[in-house]
Chain A
């Protein structure tokens, strides 16, 4: 089990790194799917099969499909890739990388210094438990989440319309 965990972890890290560095959005997207699948496996290893399934269905499935649709709709030409490579000079990488590294080190420090026993007994938490907690203790949060989704739908519908009044350019002219 431990071995599986480390394996999938490595895959997730590598795939994610490829996402960040890839030149073409579609390539990045595929790496992202890989990453999500790896994380789903990690979930399974950690004893959360329901979440692993959700990860695959919602993240790797639905959300990624949305991205794909969007890329297809925008119909980005080949110049995007070359443009990207222009942006991605090494000098651009240095600062943010250092910053993220520091943040990473700090987080590691938190994790390491927090608890002497680095491990815990594995115990699977089945969907039933999750369901009871979700509809019991967190019923109000579920309501909020549903409202959020509704708001997301409305917003996406509104923004997705073709003819929005062109405020930005007007302001730019002023």
Chain B
């Protein structure tokens, strides 16, 4: 009977999430932003799976599947948007695409 490093798994998820967030905050390229969002979602899924494993329940994994679905849809739409934006502004810099006066 092996022992699961539950805390280690959660810490890993936290770390991945923090790095992904850092990427979102720092990178101006929309592609990077999308990638970092993927990282964060993956981290969240990881946390679900770790928690599910801890209690020995399948629900964590089920939720990972849902997150996967969301991620897939998000990437599809997100990349289509990136495509559209690049066509319109000829840049992927998300600071320069803002037309709000705020």
Which residues in B have their C-beta under 8 angstroms from that of A162?
87
A contact face: mostly helix, strand, loop, or mixed:
helix
Question: When chains A and B are docked, how far (Å) is the Cα of A172 from the Cα of B55?
Answer: 54
Range class of the A interface residue count: 35 or more
Which residues in B have their C-beta under 8 angstroms from that of A133?
58-59, 61-62
Interface residues of A in 115-142 (CB under 8 A from B): 115, 118-123, 125, 129-130, 132-134, 137-138, 141
The smallest C-beta distance from A58 to any residue of chain B, in angstroms, reads 5
Question: When chains A and B are docked, how far (Å) is the Cα of A108 from the Cα of B38?
Answer: 21
B contact face: mostly helix, strand, loop, or mixed:
helix
Question: When chains A and B are docked, how far (Å) is the Cα of A172 from the Cα of B28?
Answer: 22
Q: Chain B residue with minimal CB distance to A52?
A: B49
Q: In the complex, are the beta carbons of B62 and A121 less than 8 A apart?
A: no
Give the residue among A16, A70, A153, A168 with the most B Cβ atoms within 10 A.
A16
Instruction: Mark interface residues in A31-75 (1 if CB within 8 Å of B CB, else 0).
Output: 010011001001100111011001100110011001100110110
Q: In the complex, are the beta carbons of B36 and A1 less than 8 A apart?
A: no
Q: In the complex, are the beta carbons of B12 and A111 less than 8 A apart?
A: no
The smallest C-beta distance from A112 to any residue of chain B, in angstroms, reads 7
Q: In the complex, are the beta carbons of A59 and B99 less than 8 A apart?
A: no
A-B contact count (CB 8 A): 242
Instruction: Mark interface residues in A82-121 (1 if CB within 8 Å of B CB, else 0).
Output: 0110011000110011011101100110011001001111
Which residues in A have their C-beta under 8 angstroms from that of B76?
66, 152-153, 155-156
With beta carbons under 8 angstroms apart, the residue of B8, B20, B64, B74 that contacts A51 is B64
Q: In the complex, are the beta carbons of B15 and A125 less than 8 A apart?
A: no
B residues near A (Cβ < 8 Å) are 1-12, 14-23, 25-29, 31-32, 34-36, 38-39, 42, 46, 49-50, 52-59, 61-62, 64-66, 68-77, 79-84, 86-88, 92-93, 99
Q: List 25 A-B contacts (CB under 8 A).
A: A2-B2, A5-B8, A17-B19, A35-B42, A39-B42, A39-B46, A46-B9, A58-B72, A63-B71, A107-B10, A108-B11, A118-B5, A120-B3, A120-B4, A121-B4, A122-B3, A123-B53, A125-B52, A130-B61, A132-B58, A152-B72, A155-B80, A159-B77, A168-B88, A168-B99
Known A-B contacts: A13-B16, A32-B35, A104-B15. Give 20 more (CB < 8 A): A2-B3, A5-B5, A6-B8, A9-B8, A25-B32, A42-B9, A46-B9, A59-B38, A59-B71, A74-B82, A74-B92, A88-B26, A92-B26, A104-B18, A107-B18, A108-B11, A120-B4, A138-B62, A152-B76, A156-B79
